[in-house]
Amino acid sequence: MADLIELKVPDIGDFDSVEIIEVLVAEGDSISADQEVITIESDKAMMEIPSSLSGTIKEMKVKVGDKVSEGSVIALIESSDSAATSEKAEKPAEKAAESKPAEKEKPAAAESKPAPTPTVANPEPERTETLPYAPDTGSAKKPSHASPSVRQFARELGVPLAAIVGSGQKGRITKEDVQNFVKQVMNAPAPKAAEGAGIPSVPVINFEQFGEIESKELSRIKKISGKHLHACWLNIPHVTQFDEADITELEEFRQENKDMAAKKGVGLTPLVFIMKAVVACLKQYPEFNASLSEDKQSLIYKKYYNIGVAVDTPNGLMVPVIRDVDKKGFLELAGELGEISARAREGTLTAKDLQGGTFSISSLGGIGGQFFTPIVNAPEVAILGVSRHQMKPVWNGKEFEPRLMLPLSISYDHRVIDGAAGARFTVMLNQMLSDIRKVLL
């Protein structure tokens, strides 16, 4: 006997009320265990939710634009032992067609006419730009039928499948439909922005008139993080404080203990000491470890210290979070930092690894350069930029002596932190890095 089973959202970390940006299946579809059924996106990450069982979808309980949390019901699935053994032999499209009621076959007759060029569903001419992976709730009133390969192709191009009318059998969307949709959007005349409204767009230039060019699409990470950084820069009044810390003794201590740490399988980098020094400063200046409330009328102080560390990956910048830095020693932090940085470069981070940060550090020490202006990673209110240390002559009151100086750049939200507090925080961080033993006090 076949049973109707609720397919629910599994554990997705600390996320709550995450928006659905794509529904990958429809009523009547036959699915297998671990097949993706919906795609959700938070402010920092996007993930596909797989099915925990095989069977036929009898009723969808969600749609694009809905917000779900752990335990939310996605669909009702008819599951049976016989269905589980036969689903691999039967094509999902054919099984879905057999399980649908007769009245749902009517659209197929209307679409038997050749439709080589897809049309845009629910066009919105007033929109002046299309954001990658932005939920298209206006055109999500019907499910989009497409194979997994076509869905992946559309996601790579940032195309909302719900905006396309497919030309394939029973209205299925083909790869050519996605390509034609992109051509339509690219060839459509750009709508004129309302005079005096919003930020004026930059002029569109045909660069080919000046010489040879090459166009490469941005990675998915850069599309998502770029949208977030743009919002942070527009919404946060940035102030950046610059200074240099004397880390001569710190570097000597690190070199003395580097071999011991290596025998334990960890790399003792300067960033580990900087993280501990930052936490000591956050405890003295808690507004740096806070966030503005949604109505911007109060400040939310956090009693935990989770440090986000910017990692340069082949696909773009990612900021995994090291939790409870105040409760961990230097060697433990070094091991965790090395492990999570490696996973970031391999592309195996989970959504949980990217959330819950209270303060961020962006280190360019391994590359070079002096000072820069890091962008505050909202909802945080401050970020530390670290550049490459250099040996410099420093006046000690009697003579110049060589000292190893580390450039620091601290950006903060001026609505929360004023210049005096920013300067005090920087001075204390200097003191901590100049004598790392003070972290223990």
Q: Which two tokens stand for residue 68?
A: 């779900």
Euclidean distance between CA atoms 101 and 273, whole angstroms? 65
Per-residue pLDDT at 11? 82
Residue 93 has pLDDT above 70, yes or no: no
Where residue 145 falls among pLDDT bands split at 50, 70, 90?
confident
Note whether 213 and 207 are within 8 A (CB). yes
Give the CA distances from residue 105 to residues 98, 101, 376, in Å, rounded to whole numbers and listed in that order.
Answer: 10, 7, 53
β-strand partners of 244: 407
Q: Where are the domains of the chain?
A: 1-100, 104-191, 223-440
Note whether 158 and 132 are within 8 A (CB). yes
Where residue 24 falls among pLDDT bands split at 50, 70, 90?
confident
Where residue 310 falls among pLDDT bands split at 50, 70, 90?
very high
Highest mean pLDDT out of 145-154, 222-231, 247-256: 247-256
Domain at 223-440, CATH from 3.40.50.12780, 3.20.20.140, 3.40.50.720, 3.30.559.10:
3.30.559.10
Out of 11-15, 177-181, 222-226, 288-292, pick the least confident: 11-15
Give the fold, CATH level 3, of 1-100.
OB fold (Dihydrolipoamide Acetyltransferase, E2P) (2.40.50)
Q: Is 306 helix (H, G, I), strand (E, B) or coil?
A: coil
Note whether 421 and 284 are within 8 A (CB). no
CA 319 to mean position of chain CA atoms: 9
Digit-coded pLDDT (tens) for 170-184: 677 888 888 888 888
> What is the crossing angle of helices 248-263 and 419-434, to 10°?
60
DSSP string for residues in 59-110: EE---TT-EE-TT-EEEEEEE-HHHHHHTTTS-HHHHHHHHS-GGGGHHHHH
Euclidean distance between CA atoms 42 and 62, whole angstroms? 17
Alpha-carbon radius of gyration of the chain: 27
Per-residue pLDDT at 65? 86
Sequence-distant contacts of 416-425: CB under 8 A, at least 24 apart: 416/287, 416/290, 416/292, 416/299, 416/381, 417/239, 417/287, 417/288, 417/381, 417/382, 419/239, 419/241, 421/285, 421/287, 421/288, 422/239, 422/241, 423/241, 424/285, 425/241, 425/281, 425/285, 425/288, 425/382
Domain at 104-191, CATH from 3.30.460.80, 3.40.50.720, 3.90.1640.10, 4.10.320.10:
4.10.320.10
DSSP string for residues in 107-155: HHHHTTS---S--BSS--TT-----TT---GGG-SSPPPB-HHHHHHHH
Per-residue pLDDT at 332? 96
Where residue 260 falls among pLDDT bands split at 50, 70, 90?
very high
Q: Is 42 helix (H, G, I), strand (E, B) or coil?
A: coil
Out of 172-186, 334-348, 402-416, pick the least confident: 172-186
In this structure, are strands 382-386 and 400-413 parallel, antiparallel, or unpaired? antiparallel
Around 211, how many Cα atoms within 13 Å sit in the side-chain half-sphere? Answer: 0
Catalytic-role residue among 145, 228, 230, 414: 414
Residue 133 has pLDDT above 80, yes or no: no
Percentage of residues in the chain with pLDDT exceeding 70? 81
Residue 144 has pLDDT above 80, yes or no: no
Euclidean distance between CA atoms 200 and 190, whole angstroms? 13
Average pLDDT value for residue range 371-375? 95
Per-residue pLDDT at 168? 78
Residue 107 has pLDDT above 60, yes or no: no
Residue 111 has pLDDT above 60, yes or no: no
Residue 278 has pLDDT above 80, yes or no: yes
Q: Which two tokens stand for residue 342?
A: 């490696």
Note whether 52 and 43 are within 8 A (CB). no
Short-list 305, 253, 288, CA closest to 438: 253
Instruction: Specify the residue for token string 């879905």.
Output: 96
Per-residue pLDDT at 139? 35
Note whether 164 and 184 are within 8 A (CB). no
Four-CA torsion 269, 274, 277, 279, nearest 10 degrees: -110
In this structure, are strands 307-309 and 359-363 parallel, antiparallel, or unpaired? parallel
In this structure, are strands 400-413 and 390-395 parallel, antiparallel, or unpaired? antiparallel
DSSP string for residues in 341-374: HHHHHHT---GGGGS--SEEEEE-TTT--S---P
Residue 104 has pLDDT above 70, yes or no: no
Euclidean distance between CA atoms 375 and 295, whole angstroms? 22
Q: Specify whether 145 is catalytic.
A: no
Digit-coded pLDDT (tens) for 189-246: 665 555 445 678 888 889 999 999 999 998 888 888 888 999 999 999 999 999 999 9
Q: Is 41 helix (H, G, I), strand (E, B) or coil?
A: strand
